Structure 1
Amino acid sequence: MILLLQALQTFIGIYTALLFIRILLSWFPNIDWYNQPWALISQLTDPYLNLFRSIIPPLGGMDFSPILALLLLQVVSSLFTQVVAAAVF
C-alpha cells in the first residue's frame, strides 16, 4: 500500500513539472503545439487543464485555470505525503 501511494506521489510530482513546463511555454507565442515534443506535452496536460478551464474561463486573455489545477495537485500530493507518513509510523 505504501509503495502504491509513493508511486502516485511521484507521478503527481512529474505531472506537476509537466504542467509548469506547459505554463512557461505558453508565454512563447511562436511555439507550434502540433510538432513534437510540444504536442506530447500538450496531449498530456490539456485534458487536465480543460477540466479547470470549464470552471474558470479565460478572463481578459489570461488563463487562470492552471493556478487552480496546480493548487489541487499540491493538495493531493500533501495528502499522500501525510498518509504515507502516518502509515510508516
Structure 2
Amino acid sequence: MIEILNWIVRIARYYEYAIVIYVLMSWLPGAQQSTLGRWLHRIVSPYLNLFRIIPPIGGMIDISPIVAILALNFAISGLTHLVLLFVVV
C-alpha cells in the first residue's frame, strides 16, 4: 500500500512541475504554441479550469495556478495521512 502511495505522490509532483512549466511558458511569446506547450495545455488545462473562477488580482495577475498547486498539495497530504493512519495501525 505504501508503494502505491509513493507512486501517487510522485505522479502528483510531476503534475505540479507540469503546471509550473505551463505557467512559465505563458511568459514566453509563442512557447505555448509549440508541441510541448500544446501537450501541456491538454494535460494541465482541465485541472486549472476548475480554479479559473478566481478573478485575477488587479486585472492582470492570475493566481489560479497557485491555488491549484496548493489544492493538489493539500489533497496529497490528506491522502498520505489517511493511508498512513490505516496502514500503520
Q: How many equivalent residue pairs?
A: 87
1:12–1:73: 8 Å Cα contact kept in structure 2? yes
Give 5+ residue unaligned stretches, structure 1. none
Q: What residue in structure 1 maps to residue 18 of structure 2? A: 18
Aligned to 1:57: 55
Aligned to 1:7: 7
- How far off its partner does 1:32 sit? 3.9
The percentage of counterpart residues that share the same residue type is 36
Q: What is the Cα deviation at residue 71 of structure 1?
A: 0.6
Q: CA RMSD in A?
A: 1.9
Q: Which runs of 5+ in 2 are unaligned?
A: none
Give the alignment's TM-score, normalised by structure 1. 0.79
Q: How many Å apart are 1:12 and its aligned residue?
A: 1.0
- The structure with higher relative contact order (CA 8 Å, sep 6+) is 1
